[in-house]
């Protein structure tokens, strides 16, 4: 894993201490904006938290476009300070959320910050949020590979990151950026859990017939994953109800438990859990 380059030892020690009680850390990345990365992060958190024995945390570091508060039904919430740091906002007892959106006075406020200030905030989120004992920390990142990505990988590498899930759509323009994202992960030695192809076909709610709305011209994510030697975790079909549930701040997985998109989500979430458990066992063996 990349060293927390440039971070003073005291800072690294603070981060380590704070994140010691976080068992698994998963970054959600995308090459392009608008492919459904935040939706995926929100539903991954909901899906993991459906198991009431698991404590789940969702951190939104999409500093310029934080959409997690709305998707989690937490719009208008503010960050509270407690004796031991910033308190997450809880959707359920076992699902806590922290987002830059909680620091804005209105959801329409624009955040225009330069690199150092963004990095400072990311560090503060990692060091000052009192998550408590957590099984899974899901981090929703901005699209592309920017300063924020480097910062979070550097800071989190002070402990360990299980890996990254990369969300894409089937079109070549989106896949091109995923290849860059994969190369970024390899450069910074961030393990890749796998790729999710979102908006992959449309299942008609009446006849269940599947149509390709964005027909892949070069084999889609499946071919790209083979070529780049990464796992395809699954394909999530287009379902307009996903957007409606998110806009209401509800979990689509709970609202439409039998839909093809939910079934696909469940499979993907299970694969991520299996990966994390295996990764943890391997780390324990090495230590």
Ligand X SMILES: Nc1ncnc2c1ncn2[C@@H]1O[C@H](COP(=O)(O)OP(=O)(O)OP(=O)(O)O)[C@@H](O)[C@H]1O
Binding-site sequence positions: 31-38, 204, 207
Query: Which one of 47, 143, 234, 260 is in contact with ligand X (CB under 6 A)?
Result: 143
Residue 35 found at the interface with ligand X (CB under 6 A) = yes
Tell the smallest beta-carbon distance from residue 201 to ligand SF4 (Å): 12
Tell the smallest beta-carbon distance from residue 64 to ligand X (Å): 9
Query: Which one of 14, 23, 65, 113 is in contact with ligand X (CB under 6 A)?
Result: 65
Tell the smallest beta-carbon distance from residue 53 to ligand X (Å): 28
Looking at the Cβ atoms of 87 and 250, the one nearer to ligand X is 250
In the annotated binding site for ATP, the residues are 31-38
Tell the smallest beta-carbon distance from residue 65 to ligand X (Å): 5
What does 206 interact with, of ligand X, ligand SF4, none (CB < 5 to 8 A by kind)?
ligand SF4
In the annotated binding site for [4Fe-4S] cluster, the residues are 204, 207
Looking at the Cβ atoms of 132 and 205, the one nearer to ligand SF4 is 205
Looking at the Cβ atoms of 77 and 241, the one nearer to ligand X is 241
Query: Which one of 73, 85, 243, 249 is in contact with ligand X (CB under 6 A)?
Result: 243
Residue 45 found at the interface with ligand X (CB under 6 A) = no
Looking at the Cβ atoms of 154 and 198, the one nearer to ligand X is 198
Residue 242 found at the interface with ligand X (CB under 6 A) = yes
Helix H, strand E, coil C: the string for the chain is CCCCCCCCHHHHHHHHHHHCCEEEEEEEEECCCCCCHHHHHHHHHHHHHCCCCCCEEEEECCCCCCCHHHHCCCCCCCCEEECCEEECEEEECCEEEEEHHHHCCCCCCCCCCCHHHHHHHHHHHHHHECCCCEEEEEEECCCCCCHHHHHHHHHHCCCCCCEEEEEECCCHHHHHHHHHHHHHHHHCCCCEEEEEEEEEEEECCCCCCEECCCCCCCCHHHHHHHHHCCCEEEEEEECHHHHHHHHCCCCHHHHCCCCHHHHHHHHHHHHHHHHHHHHHHHHHHHC
Scanning the structure block, which residue is given the tokens 């910050």?
A: 113
Looking at the Cβ atoms of 112 and 207, the one nearer to ligand SF4 is 207
Which residues, 6 or more positions from 73, have their beta carbon under 8 angstroms from its beta carbon? 91, 248, 249, 250
Q: Which of residues 255-274 bind ligand X (CB under 6 A)?
A: 261
Scanning the structure block, which residue is given the tokens 């998550």?
A: 131
Contact mark string toward ligand SF4, 202..221, x via CB under 6 A? --x-xx-x------------
Contact 137, 24 (CB under 8 A): yes
Tell the smallest beta-carbon distance from residue 35 to ligand X (Å): 4
Query: Residue 211 has which token pair?
Result: 């149509």
Distance between alpha carbon 78 and the CA centroid of its chain, in Å?
21
Looking at the Cβ atoms of 22 and 199, the one nearer to ligand X is 199
Q: Contact positions toward ligand X, by CB under 6 A?
A: 30, 33-39, 62, 65, 67, 143, 198-199, 236, 238-240, 242-243, 246, 261
Q: Contact positions toward ligand SF4, by CB under 6 A?
A: 204, 206-207, 209
């Amino acid at each position: 894993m990349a060293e927390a380059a440039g971070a003073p030892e005291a800072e690294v020690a603070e981060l380590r201490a704070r994140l010691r009680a976080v068992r698994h850390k998963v970054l959600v990345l995308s090459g392009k904006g608008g492919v459904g990365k935040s939706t995926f992060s929100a539903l991954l958190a909901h899906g993991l938290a459906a198991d009431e024995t698991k404590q789940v945390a969702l951190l939104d570091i999409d500093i310029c476009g934080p959409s997690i508060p709305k998707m989690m039904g937490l719009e208008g919430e503010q960050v509270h300070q407690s004796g031991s740091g910033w308190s997450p906002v809880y959707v359920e007892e076992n699902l806590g959320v922290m987002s830059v959106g909680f620091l804005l006075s209105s959801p329409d406020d624009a955040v225009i910050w330069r690199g150092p200030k963004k990095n400072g905030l990311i560090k503060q989120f990692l060091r000052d949020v009192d998550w408590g004992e957590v099984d899974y920390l899901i981090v929703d990142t901005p699209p592309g590979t920017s300063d924020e990505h480097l910062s979070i990988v550097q800071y989190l590498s002070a402990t360990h990151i299980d890996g990254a899930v990369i969300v894409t759509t089937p079109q070549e323009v989106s896949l091109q950026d995923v290849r860059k994202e994969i190369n970024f992960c390899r450069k910074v030695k961030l393990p890749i859990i796998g790729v999710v192809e979102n908006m992959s076909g449309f299942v008609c709610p009446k006849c269940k017939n599947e149509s390709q709305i964005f027909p892949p011209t070069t084999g889609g994510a499946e071919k790209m994953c083979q070529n780049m030697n990464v796992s395809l975790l699954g394909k999530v079909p287009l379902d307009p109800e996903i957007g409606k549930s998110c806009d209401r701040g509800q979990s689509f997985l709970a609202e439409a438990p039998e839909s093809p998109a939910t079934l696909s989500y469940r499979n993907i979430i299970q694969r991520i859990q299996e990966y994390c458990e295996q990764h943890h066992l391997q780390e324990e063996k090495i230590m």
